[in-house]
Amino acid sequence: MVRSAAVRLTLTACGGLLLAARAVAQGTDRTGLLRGMVYDSLITSAPLEGAEVWIEGTNRTARTDTAGRFQLADLAAGRYTLTFYHPVLDSTGLSAPPVAVDLAAGSIALVTLATPGPTAAHRMLCPHDPWQKTGAILALVRDATDSKPLPGITVTAHWTIYALVAGSVRAEPGTTAARSDASGRVLLCNVPTDVAVVLQGTAGEGPAGMVLVDLAGRAFGRAALDLAVAATTGAVTGVVRNRNGSVIPGATVVAIGTESRTQADELGEFTLRDVVAGPRIVEAHAIGYPPGWAQATVRAGLTQRVAIVMGDSIPVLDPVTVVGRYEPYLARVGFERRRNAAQGHFLDTTDVKSAGAVQFEEVFRMVPGVRLRPNGSSYLVELQRGQGQILNPALANYCPPAYFIDGVYFPLPPIETPSLPLVPAEILAIEVYSNIFSAPPQYQRMDSGCGVILVWTKRGVPNRSR
């Protein structure tokens, strides 16, 4: 039997591997028994099924069952060296020296073996990580067609952290990158453990692929990036449910980073056709529910099925009709005064309703000088007369306008689907200024060279007693 990729385990002071062994007297039988369990502390935090355990220098082997247990019987007294192998460790490139176990005649040696934990794996893989509260992601880059490893592929991790600074919310983007080795492995260190991270990569003439990884506070995580090396398409089908298993009809489903989008039927089922091949993040939105997503690997000419689980429904209050109170609020915020000055383009509730928009961004189809660019689950709004430019590779040099909702600046994340948390039905009025000089002084920012958009909503109307 050939075991060139075997992973060997020993007890170390750093706690990366665990061995507990004790001998128990067993009658007068002079042969002994090695009995134990293999535990996965790295990925699943559960017993490790299918691990191959053997005694070095012999042909005695055992394979762990569904509970991670193994047994080696009819052994003479002496010292034995145990080794075990499992793909969960082989794929990470981690290794350890063998373990010596002393077995007395007529006794049982109980052995517990464990893989390195996330913290130990992080220390081994990223020994020079200078940050605190960061983690490591080990990704395997493969060809989506034949699953062969792809060396020399640059994989980039993107994330966004929001910080409260001087009473406003500021988006702080982060990124790190590395290249895959000859076996297709790529190690990304210094990634945050408390926010989701988007991994992106491109192989040959194929499209860029995306994988969403959330370490959820753990110091180590794995991911598979199965990239298409040519521009091909496939399909994704599935169902949208909430956490209690009920289907969500009418949900909007999109493949992030592509123009593929559809709506779930009355049974929550959906089909996305002609989706560019490679790893895709499939996202679902529905009114009254937090968004949900699922990871899919699209292969040429094939169909993959996924299940998207959205959060519990959010209570939606019955509509409240307020008569004669919209005008005073808009007058108070200066909307009518600025509309009379004709320094920008202005929309009121009548204009918004006549646009027939389903999403917020679609309202701008009727605004001169505005271009909508499809972008995953929404659109990018671009003012064509904007004076500035933001060189952001994640947005393909897209220059977004500065948004203010009810007078409060609302920054857009640079690596996620740029969309405002609004629906057309709750909009009272919109003001569009194509450049910083035409915008009101209180809404001019240093990064507003691409224009300013003010949105006034029904939520912003002050509560008043009847």
Assess contact for 202 and 231: CB atoms under 8 A: no
Retrieve residue 357's tokens.
């928009």
Q: What is the pLDDT of residue 278?
A: 92
The strand pair at 209-213 and 197-201 is best described as antiparallel
**SS3 at position 202:** coil
- Give the angle subtended at the CA of 57 by the CAs of 55 and 58, to the nearest 5°: 65
Question: Can you give the pLDDT at residue 88?
Answer: 73
Q: How high is the pLDDT of residue 413?
A: 64
Q: Which pLDDT score, from 0 to 100, does residue 286 have?
A: 92
pLDDT at residue 44, rounded to an integer: 77
Check residue 211 and give its pLDDT.
93
- Per-residue pLDDT, 1: 40
How high is the pLDDT of residue 438? 86
H helix or E strand, kind and range, residue 106:
none
The answer to whether 283 and 215 are in contact (CB under 8 A) is no
**pLDDT digits (tens), the chain, 466 positions:** 434 434 333 333 333 333 444 444 444 457 889 888 888 887 778 898 998 888 888 889 999 999 999 999 999 998 888 888 888 777 677 766 677 888 898 899 888 888 887 777 877 788 776 555 688 898 999 999 888 999 999 999 999 888 877 778 888 889 999 999 888 889 898 888 888 899 999 998 889 999 999 988 888 888 999 999 998 999 999 999 998 889 999 999 999 988 899 999 999 999 999 999 999 999 999 988 889 999 999 999 999 999 999 987 777 677 877 665 445 688 888 898 898 887 889 999 999 998 888 888 889 888 888 888 887 767 888 887 655 554 444 444 667 788 999 999 888 765 555 567 888 999 999 999 988 888 898 888 877 778 899 999 988 887 754 4
| Phi, psi (degrees; rounded to nearest 5) at 120 | -65, -40
Q: What is the DSSP string of 393-422?
A: GGGTT--PPEEEETTEEEPPPSSS----S-
Instruction: Determine the pLDDT at residue 81.
Output: 86
pLDDT of 131: 53
- What is the DSSP code string of 314-368? PP-PPP---SS-HHHHHHHTTHHHHHHHTSSEEEEHHHHHHTT-SSGGGGGGGST
Let me know if 368 is exposed, middle or buried by CB neighbors in 10 A (0-12, 13-18, 19+).
exposed
Q: For residue 282, what pLDDT is reported?
A: 95
- pLDDT at site 327: 54
Q: Which residues in 76-196 belong to E strands, given as ranges? A: 78-85, 99-103, 107-114, 134-143, 154-165, 168-179, 185-192
